[in-house]
Homo-oligomer: A and B are copies of this chain.
Amino acid sequence: MKATPAGALPHIVIVGGGFGGLWAARALALAPLRITLIDRSNHHVFQPLLYQVAGAGLSGTDIAAPLRYILRRQRNVTVWMDEVTGIDLDARRVRTRRRSLAYDGLIVATGSTDTYFGHEHWAANAPALKTLDDALVIRRRILSAFEAAEREADPARRRQWLTFVIVGGGPTGVELAGTLLEIARHTLPREFRHAHPGDAIIHIVEAGPRLLPAMPARLAAIARRRLERLGARVHLDTAVTDVHAMGVRMAAGAIEARTVLWAAGTAASRLGRALGCELDRAGRARVEPDLSLPGHPDVFVIGDLACVTQDGTRVPGVAPAAKQMGRYAARALRGRLAGATPRPFRYRDYGTLASISRGFALVHLRGLQLHGFPGWLFWLFAHLFFLIGFRNRLAVMWNWAWSYATWQRTARVIVGHDPAAPETPISDQG
């Protein structure tokens, strides 16, 4: 590991500014290294609250901050907004769209993306929720559907605009459904004169036998009961066979809906294919117990891009796992540079949270199970605590307090142009 001229500090490249990459960079704060953090966007996003941006409860800037702002005091880091297009493991170089960089150590943390399991053309009619841009697209679709329903005189067509299908019953699907139910039942009704947002129908279509597969069966059943009581229609063991502009088709039957949201599939980032190693079915890199790439002890793969198995089960693709891997890889890399052999990575499971609706969340941690209001209080403080930045915390707290008191959502502003929207967008009138 000596690609760097004598005297110069070793150069570490970190690809990706999500939880994995950012925590790795922070863990190297005091190390005598030169670090380049590359991300194709200029910001870190607090992904667990992305669905609240989609649901117009929070503004995008409440849960995102520029990477170079977060790392401004860490003088050994250069932040680089660019896209990595390839990795040359033998020459130890990372290729971006604009240049090529030599590294002494590499941490790849490009995370996951959505997959439609070979039906990628469904994306136009069923946007997924991975980035801040995705959240703004979904917000626009949801709000525009209610606007279209208000304009529509024909009852059958109005019903199509007031029908929403969420494909996937994992945490994202459940949280989106809860948000949509609240918008429809509580936020909007008084504002419409013709459409009745309260009549909106929200379907959750899940291919597996239950919601929230990462939660204990008891909590998943509670979530289902809660959602059904709020008015959602939950279809289990139901695979979607087609998504089109007017709805979805399933093995048995179809749903007519103008808004379909995709919360069903996650695959590893495409950069995994550039690693030249064995990938699992979801495209994740099979790494060594120390998270390094087989045959390349100077390259670490972490977060959602890494396939790590521990005690027979896979480490889940959640934020705490990515952070732990980021911190671990930073330490392991420093050790390697000093000639040491790192001990294997161990994931510590601190539990799983899922919010269903205002005042109702599920919590599962080490034997403790909470639901309802106590779960929600726990969820609330956990999320505030882990949000990056004092200002963001206060802003989010304030938005939540305001929404709680008024049922209002503060970010209900439709901006941007959505070329793939089912209806031609309304263009310039000025």
Contact = CB atoms under 8 A, between A and B. Distances in A.
Interface string A395-425: 1001000100000101111111100000000
Contact of A426 (B97, B112, B130, B391): B97
A394 to B, nearest CB: 8
A193 B71 CA distance: 11
A412 B97 contact: no
Given A398-B398, A430-B270, A43 B391 contact: no
A60 B415 CA distance: 9
Interface stretch (A61-69, A205-213, A343-351): A61-69
A132 B68 contact: no
Contacts of A402: 391
Contacts of A150: 78-81
A114 to B, nearest CB: 8
A411 B411 CA distance: 14
A398 B429 CA distance: 34
Given A68-B192, A69-B412, A430 B132 contact: no
Contact of A81 (B62, B72, B147): B147
Interface string A106-133: 0000111100000000000000001011
A60 B78 CA distance: 29
Contacts of A59: 59-62
Contacts of A77: 193
A218 interface: no
B416 A133 contact: yes
Oligomeric state, in copies: 2
Size class of A's contact patch?
A: 35 or more
B413 A60 contact: yes
Nearest to A58: B61
A40 to B, nearest CB: 5
A347 B150 CA distance: 37
A415 B133 contact: yes
Contacts of A43: 412-414
B68 A429 contact: no
Contact of A191 (B68, B133, B271, B417): B68
A78 B193 contact: yes
A42 B147 contact: yes
A83 B429 contact: yes
B191 A72 contact: yes
Nearest to A403: B391
Nearest to A304: B430
A402 B411 CA distance: 20
A404 to B, nearest CB: 13
A73 B142 CA distance: 23
Interface in A191-225: 191-194
B430 A269 contact: yes
Given A426-B40, A430-B110, A413 B61 contact: yes
A168 to B, nearest CB: 18
A413 B66 contact: yes
A94 to B, nearest CB: 12
A147 B394 CA distance: 28
Given A41-B426, A66-B191, 11 more contacts: A40-B429, A59-B60, A66-B413, A81-B144, A81-B150, A82-B426, A83-B427, A84-B429, A98-B151, A136-B416, A270-B429
19 contacts: A41-B414, A41-B426, A42-B143, A42-B144, A42-B147, A59-B60, A60-B413, A66-B413, A69-B408, A72-B190, A80-B150, A81-B426, A84-B429, A111-B430, A132-B413, A133-B416, A136-B415, A270-B429, A270-B430
Interface of A: 40-43, 59-62, 64-66, 68-69, 71-73, 77-84, 97-99, 110-113, 130, 132-133, 136, 143-144, 147, 150-151, 190-194, 269-271, 391, 394-395, 398, 402, 408, 410-417, 426-430
